[in-house]
Amino acid sequence: MKLIFEKSQSGRRASSLPKPDVPAGEIPAHLRRAAPPRLPELAEPEVLRHFTELATRTFGIDTGFYPLGSCTMKHNPRVNERVAGLPGFRDLHPHQEEEASQGALELMWRLQEILAEVAGLPAVSLQPAAGSQGELTGLMLMRAYFADRGESHRDTIITADTAHGTNPASVTMAGFNLKKVETDARGNLDLEHLRTLVDANTAGLMLTNPSTLGLFDENIVEVATIFHDAGALLYYDGANLNAVCGISRPGDMGFDIVHYNLHKTFSQPHGGGGPGGGPVAVRGAIEPFLPVPAVVRDGDAFRLDYDRPKTIGKVRGFCGPFGVFVRAYAFIRAYGPGLKEMSETAVLNANYLLARLKDVYELPYDRHCMHEFVLSARGLKREYGVTALDVAKRLMDHNFHPPTIYFPLVVAEALMIEPTETEAKETLDAFVEAMREIAREAAEQPELLKDAPHNRTVRRLDEVKAAKRAVVTYGFEAHPSLDEEQAGSRELEVRQGA
């Protein structure tokens, strides 16, 4: 389909704007825009049809099953959109006086209290904009905490080899060095290897638990002891918190700092890539370093507290993504203590899929899983030359969004599947049938998988050509032609998901 710019007709417009009866203002000539930006020129029906057509070429949870591992693609209750759109929230200016923002402040305070209870840690800052920013904030907190104790020599963070890429990237951005601990045969951290890595320069561990393999680390108490005995801290990546709400709390596992993903566990819609929310919770000893402002309660009133001399500062504007807080708060209030059943259902659904698929796809760690699990297509690759990518693309023909693939890195040809608590048994069964049929096809008609998908708006893409051309905007009359020789790699095995 055409780009919106290719539909543009000079002089057409959708907007109508007020024209107040006041004299025009002046701008110094050398600061005034010489040539207008080439924005689209269309009437409103054309704009609406354009975006409606784009929507129909997009797959969301509303469209169908979306088992993208580690992304927790659960149903987004529409009542949360309704309440986030209440004018008292939607149209509230962030510089409004505190006495005129009491409802917003109370909502944030209440959400902090809830998150503290879920994590088993006393102090919460809602400010970080996403999980990855929560991670970075957590590492900044570690740095500030150790500097305050005169232990700035602690310059190293340990992450698991199953960690999300964000963990090592955050470590670098926070100015720490990185060490990686291996995974043992049961899918837990390799304790022996871990002991060789932890020393006087260790600042902390970053861990997802359950891990990206969907497995709860059975030695978590011992892991925590190793770090705490060395004077180091433990950071909990909350990407997989949907497995353990009301069942086990990171604070009780021994973690000192936690981030939540409000867009995963607590159903902020993913929005095609965002927004998210990445609050952090910490132990009392780390609270003085949290970002400002803190939202605090004084008797019956709520206020913003900037008087935190040891704070790391601000990691984003204002108090954080407030609209995300409204949705997450509403989501949690609809469950109450029933959050535990939410996690139980998510774990049940994942184990059901696992049980029904493990005879046709390899299961690298043969245990019950938590909320997600990782299968491998390496058998199909070895026998029939069919890859995880081919399986993923063929799933599209069944109108399922593929799982996360090629991640975690420790599993070859990985297919990482997270059904969430949203899905009914019939949907899970249909997915099982599709996956089993694809495994049969791999043996009988592998070319069917190699050429998949067959019924989407486009066929497989030439990703190498995209990177080579690096055409990332429309060039109008100077737009480069697409007709050059195709670079033509079909097997760009990069992680897709999580």
Nearest-angstrom CA–CA distance, 274 and 133:
13
Is there a contact between 360 and 142 (Cβ–Cβ < 8 Å)?
A: no
Binding letters toward other proteins, positions 230-249, x by CB under 8 A = --------------xxxxxx
Question: CB of residue 149 vs other proteins: minimum separation in angstroms?
Answer: 16
Contact between 377 and other proteins by CB under 8 A: the answer reads: no
Contact between 472 and other proteins by CB under 8 A: the answer reads: yes
Q: Which element (helix H / strand E) includes 195?
A: helix 191-197
When binding is defined by CB under 8 A, the residue of 107, 213, 241, 411 that contacts other proteins is: 107
Distance of CA 138 to the CA centre of its chain: 16
When binding is defined by CB under 8 A, the residue of 111, 130, 189, 415 that contacts other proteins is: 130
Quick check: helix, strand or coil at residue 344?
A: helix
- Tokens 């800052």 belong to residue: 125
Question: CB of residue 431 vs other proteins: minimum separation in angstroms?
Answer: 14
Which span (77-85, 200-208, 379-387, 436-444) binds other proteins, by CB under 8 A? 77-85
At 117, list the tokens. Answer: 């209870």
Taking alpha carbons only, the member of 220, 261, 262 closest to residue 135 is 261
Contact between 308 and other proteins by CB under 8 A: the answer reads: no
- Tokens 């929560």 belong to residue: 134
Quick check: helix, strand or coil at residue 458?
A: coil
Question: CB of residue 465 vs other proteins: minimum separation in angstroms?
Answer: 5
Which span (47-55, 226-234, 282-290, 437-445) binds other proteins, by CB under 8 A? 47-55
Which span (83-91, 189-197, 226-234, 437-445) binds other proteins, by CB under 8 A? 83-91
Binding letters toward other proteins, positions 156-195, x by CB under 8 A = --------xxx-xxxxxxxx--x-----------------
Rule CB under 8 A: which of 420-439 touch other proteins? Answer: 425
Q: Residue 68: beta bridge partners?
A: 417
Q: Pseudo-torsion of CA 55, 60, 62, 63, nearest 10°?
A: 80
Residues 6+ apart with CB under 8 A from 425: 352
Please identify, using beta-carbon distances, which residue of 40 and 379 lies nearer to other proteins: 40
Please identify, using beta-carbon distances, which residue of 193 and 316 lies nearer to other proteins: 316
Please identify, using beta-carbon distances, which residue of 135 and 413 lies nearer to other proteins: 135
Contact between 269 and other proteins by CB under 8 A: the answer reads: yes
Bridge-based pairing of strands 156-160 and 202-208 is parallel
Number of residues in contact with other proteins under rule CB under 8 A: 200
Bridge-based pairing of strands 414-417 and 177-181 is unpaired
Contact between 459 and other proteins by CB under 8 A: the answer reads: yes
Q: Which element (helix H / strand E) includes 89?
A: helix 87-90
